[in-house]
Amino acid sequence: MATKDMGAAEFSKVKVNCGRLMQSLHEVCEFGTGERWGSAPTETGMSRLALSDSDKQARDWFVHTTEQLGCRVTVDSMGNIFAVRPGRSGHNAPATFTGSHLDTQPTGGRYDGILGIHAGVEMLRVLQDLDIQTEYPVGVVNWTNEEGARFPKSMMSSGVWAGDIPEEDAHNLQEVGGGSATVKSELQRIGYLGTVPASHKAMPMAAHFELHIEQGPILEGEQKKIGVVTGVQAYKWFTLDIKGRDAHTGTTPFEARADALLLAARMIVHAQHLAASKGALASTGILNTFPGSTNTVPGHVRFSLDIRAPLDTTVDELEATLRQDFEVLARGEATAYASCPPHQGLPLSVSWQTDTVSPATRFHPNCIAAVRDAAHSVLSPLSSSPTDLVRDITSGAGHDSVYASRHCPTSMIFVSCRDGISHNPLEYCSPEDCSLGAEVLCQAILRYDQLRSTAAV
C-alpha cells in the first residue's frame, strides 16, 4: 500500500498494536528504574538521566530495534539519534520525522518523552505489518537531554540542531550537583558522540511530529482524548544569587542580619503571587544555602526561577517587574503588590543569570491539520461526534518540537495523563490513551507524507 493512494478507508486500517506498544514501553523502562538521584526509589517511577548508563541502554535498544525495522541510523555530534525508513521515491529528500526523548527527570515518570519514542517505533512496526510504502522517507529521532535535569539546559540538543544553542556551550555543560562530567565527556563515555554535525543543515527534516502526554489537567478535566497542539507557551529560566552576610543565629539580632534565605523566601512567595495575578506561572525548583549550617544565617543563596505564560509580552513584563521588585525586597522594603510585609535587616544584593529563553511558538497549519484530521479519523469508531473528543491546546511545557518548528513544519499530539501529574513517579497514561495517541501520530505522519507527495509542500 502506498500512501499516495490511501483514502479514508485505507487510513482506517492503520491500527496500532496496543499490547505490543505497552510491552515495548515497559520493557525499555527497566533501563532507568534502578538508579536514583536525590530521592528514594519508587516502584513506578523512572530516573534515566541524560547520558547515564541507563540512557545508554535505552539508546542501544533504540538503535538496534530501528535497524531491525529497516532504518538507517545516524548519530550526530550531540548524540541525537535519527532512524530513517526509506520512502518509495525521494530517497534524497528529508524524512518526515516523529521525535521525542528517552531521558527523564531525576524522579520522573514512564511516559514523558518515552511514549513519543515508543510510539515512533510502533509506527515503524505498523508500516512493516501493513507493508505501507511512504512516498518520502519517514524517521524517528531521539533528542539528547530534553529534560535539562542532569545538564541544566532543557531541549538542549534540538536547540543545537536548530542553531540556537552553540554546540560548544552544550558540550561544555557540567552536570548539576557538583560532579565533573560534561555533556561531551559523557557522550564519549557512552559511545554516542557522532561525527555528523548536529545541525538542521546536515540533517534536515521535512516535518516534525511529536506525541506527548499533556502533563497538565486540561484534557482529563474536559474528558478529551486528543489535544491538537497549536503552539507552546513562552518561558524563561534564571539563576539568582542572593548575597548577604553569614552570621551566628543566636547572637545576631534581626536588624543586624543580611539573611539571604529570608530574602529568597520573600522573593519566591512574591514571584508566585505576582505571576498568578498576571495569568502566568513562576516556580523555583532548586535552592541551595551557603554555608549550610543550622546555626549560621546563610550569607548566600542560589535559586532557580522558571517563569511562563502563553504570550512573550507577559513573560517579559513579569521578568521586568520581578527585577524591580526583587531590588525593593533586597532593601528590606515591601513591594507595591504586597505579598510579604517589609522585614528588618541590612540590605542584600541580587544578581540574575538568564539560562534559557524560549519564546512562544506557533506550530505549522499543515501539521496541525494533519494531526486534527488523524484524530478525527482515529476517534470516529469510538464516538458519533469524534470532534467532541478533540480540542486545540497550547503546550505549557517546552518540547523538542519548539526547536524543530524553527526549521520545519511541526505539530504535536497530546494525550491526557492522570490528575495532570508529570515529572513524578505517579505519572500515568492509560494503555488505551497511549494507543490512541500512537495511532493519531501514525496517521498524521502518513497524511503528511501524502500531502508532500500530492501538493509538494
159-198 residues in contact with its own copies (CB under 8 A) are: 176-177
Residue type, 284: T
Contacts to its own copies from residues 85-114, by CB under 8 A? 105-107
Cα–Cα distance measured from residue 190 to residue 334, given in angstroms and rounded to the nearest whole number: 51
Site for its own copies in 10-69 (CB under 8 A): 37-39
CB of 77 to its own copies, least distance (A): 25
Whole-angstrom distance, CA of residue 342 vs CA of residue 9: 68
When asked if residue 144 is in the footprint of its own copies (CB under 8 A), the reply is: no
The C-alpha angle with vertex 43 and arms to 38 and 44, in degrees rounded to 5, equals 90
Q: CA-CA distance, 149 to 262, in Å (whole number)?
A: 26
Question: What is the footprint of its own copies within residues 385-444 (CB under 8 A)?
Answer: 395-398, 419-426
Q: Which of 23, 254, 324, 353 binds its own copies (CB under 8 A)?
A: 254
Stretch that binds its own copies, among 121-129, 254-262, 320-328, 362-370 (CB under 8 A): 254-262
Which positions from 281 through 310 interact with its own copies, judged by CB under 8 A?
281, 283-287, 289-300, 304, 306, 308
Quote the CA–CA distance of 398 and 409 in Å, as a whole number: 17
Count of residues engaged in binding its own copies, rule: CB under 8 A: 82
- 129 vs 220 by CB, closer to its own copies: 220
Closest separation in Å from C-beta 79 to its own copies: 20
**Residue placing its CB nearer to its own copies in the complex, 64 or 248:** 248
8 A C-beta contact, residue 170 and residue 148: no
Which amino acid, 40? Answer: A
Residue of the chain from 246, 312, 317, 327 that contacts its own copies (CB under 8 A)? 246
Q: How far is the CB of 33 from its own copies (least distance, A)?
A: 15
- Regarding 359 and contact with its own copies (CB under 8 A), the answer is no
Contacts with its own copies in 204-223 (CB under 8 A)?
214-217
Q: Which is nearer to its own copies, 146 or 439 (CB)?
A: 146
Using CB under 8 A as the binding rule, whether residue 203 contacts its own copies is answered as no
Of 87 and 108, nearer to its own copies (C-beta) is 108
Nearer to its own copies, 87 or 159 (CB): 159
Select from 59-67, 69-77, 279-287, 374-382 the region that touches its own copies (CB under 8 A): 279-287
Non-local CB neighbours of 313 within 8 Å, separated by 6+ positions:
none
Which residue in the set 80, 100, 339, 366 belongs to the binding site for its own copies (CB under 8 A)?
339
Q: Which of 234, 263, 454 is nearest to 366 (CA)?
A: 454
